[in-house]
Chains A and B, each alone.
Chain A
Amino acid sequence: MLTTRVNLRGIPCPLNLVRAKLAMEKAAIGDILEIEIDDGEPIQNLPASLGRQGQEILETVKLDNYFCLKVRRRL
């Protein structure tokens, strides 16, 4: 099982979701993505959107001025 880091800082909604989905498609089912996203809209929207699309949100870690969202590809 692989873990891939994806930097989506500076990418606004909803393009960050598009990028996250594309990164997710490159991973195998069961793999983990660590997605770096900005505070504000991205952290409010992205975890919920990925969750709605059937992905598993493992944890959200607050770093300096951004977040790291740990997601497991389920679909």
Chain B
Amino acid sequence: MSLTEEQIQRYSRNIILEQIGGRGQERLLASKVLIIGTGGLGSPAALYLAAAGVGTIGLVDGDQVDLTNLQRQIIHHTRDVGRRKVASAKSKIKAVNPDVTVRTYDIWARASNIREIVRAYDFVIDGADNFPAKFLINDACFFERIPFSHAGILQFEGQLMTVIPGQTACYRCVFPGPPPTSAVSPCGQAGVLGVLPGVIGSLQATEAIKYLLGIGELLTDSLLTYDALTMDFRKVPAGRRADCPLCGPSATITALIDEGKVVCNRKGCKC
């Protein structure tokens, strides 16, 4: 593959970087990243990866755009309210960079469908908004040995961690299973600062690019936490656990399971 005149100009600021160059850019163009959830985290991740020239981007989301999403899900615009999220996101990605091939999966990630989707990608971004999906993504990526970036956000705080399955700590090494549903606010009841997923989702995109290019040091075996109120970033060591139920030597999880339904007690809530 050789870069076109337009690509040389479009990606000039990447190519200039010593760690990227023309070869690195060609590598990005040949790469495939799957983004699960085109919401707060998935929006900036998708836009930056598209702008960077990641050649194939997959989008998984079974939802439609809601007016309440727009405060943070920046890939969706006001006129998209009511539109399928994957279609809305695809049109913005194509507008940013027509080089990108976008594959859309207008479904919810489930134990029955997720493995065959993730296996076609080089890297996965967990942009899900609920614990069952996060564990599902972790487990599917472990079984398929696909590296991924986990992230979570709530109110003013976010966290992320990169997992190279079988080599570095997985999400279950840090959190063995989902918290009790009574301890979770699955929909909008807890609130979230709109820019928070912008910060965390952008960091996930950074990890994806670093992984694809094989440059720098990945955020593995540690959890990065960010507090927007205090501007504290903390990197907490989190190594592999011998008693991890998924990736430990005496693992008890040997197949994908749906970790219960996302429940919500808000009246009329469809989450």
Closest beta carbon of chain B to A27's beta carbon, Å: 12
Set of chain A residues within 8 Å of B9, measured between Cβ atoms: 15
Set of chain B residues within 8 Å of A53, measured between Cβ atoms: 18
Do B16 and A14 touch (CB < 8 A)? yes
Do A18 and B12 touch (CB < 8 A)? yes
Binary flags per residue of A48-72, CB closer than 8 Å to B gives 1, else 0: 0000011000000000000000000
Cα A53 to Cα B21 in complex, Å, equals 11
Do A25 and B16 touch (CB < 8 A)? no
* Range of interface residues on B (Cβ < 8 Å): 10 to 19
Closest beta carbon of chain B to A68's beta carbon, Å: 22
Cα A14 to Cα B21 in complex, Å, equals 14
Binary flags per residue of B1-45, CB closer than 8 Å to A gives 1, else 0: 001000011001001101001110000000000000000000000
For the complex, is A5 an interface residue (Cβ under 8 Å from B)? no
Do B8 and A21 touch (CB < 8 A)? no
Do A18 and B16 touch (CB < 8 A)? yes
Do A22 and B12 touch (CB < 8 A)? no
Do A18 and B23 touch (CB < 8 A)? no
How many A-B contacts if CB must be within 8 Å? Answer: 25
Cα A22 to Cα B3 in complex, Å, equals 9
Do B18 and A22 touch (CB < 8 A)? no
Cα A59 to Cα B173 in complex, Å, equals 56
Least CB separation from A19: chain B residue: B8
Do A22 and B22 touch (CB < 8 A)? yes
For the complex, is A17 an interface residue (Cβ under 8 Å from B)? yes
Set of chain A residues within 8 Å of B18, measured between Cβ atoms: 53-54
Cα A15 to Cα B18 in complex, Å, equals 15
Do A17 and B22 touch (CB < 8 A)? no
Do A15 and B22 touch (CB < 8 A)? no
Set of chain A residues within 8 Å of B8, measured between Cβ atoms: 15, 18-19, 22
17 CB contacts below 8 A, A to B, read A15-B8, A15-B9, A18-B8, A18-B15, A18-B16, A19-B8, A21-B15, A21-B16, A21-B21, A21-B22, A22-B3, A22-B8, A22-B15, A22-B21, A22-B22, A25-B21, A53-B18
The 7 closest A-B pairs by CB, nearest first: A18-B12, A22-B22, A18-B15, A25-B22, A53-B18, A17-B16, A21-B21
Interface on B for A, CB 8 Å cutoff? 3, 8-9, 12, 15-16, 18, 21-23
Given contacts A21-B22, A22-B21, 19 further A-B contacts (CB under 8 A): A14-B12, A14-B16, A15-B8, A15-B9, A15-B12, A17-B16, A18-B8, A18-B12, A18-B15, A19-B8, A21-B15, A21-B16, A21-B21, A22-B3, A22-B15, A22-B22, A25-B23, A53-B18, A54-B18
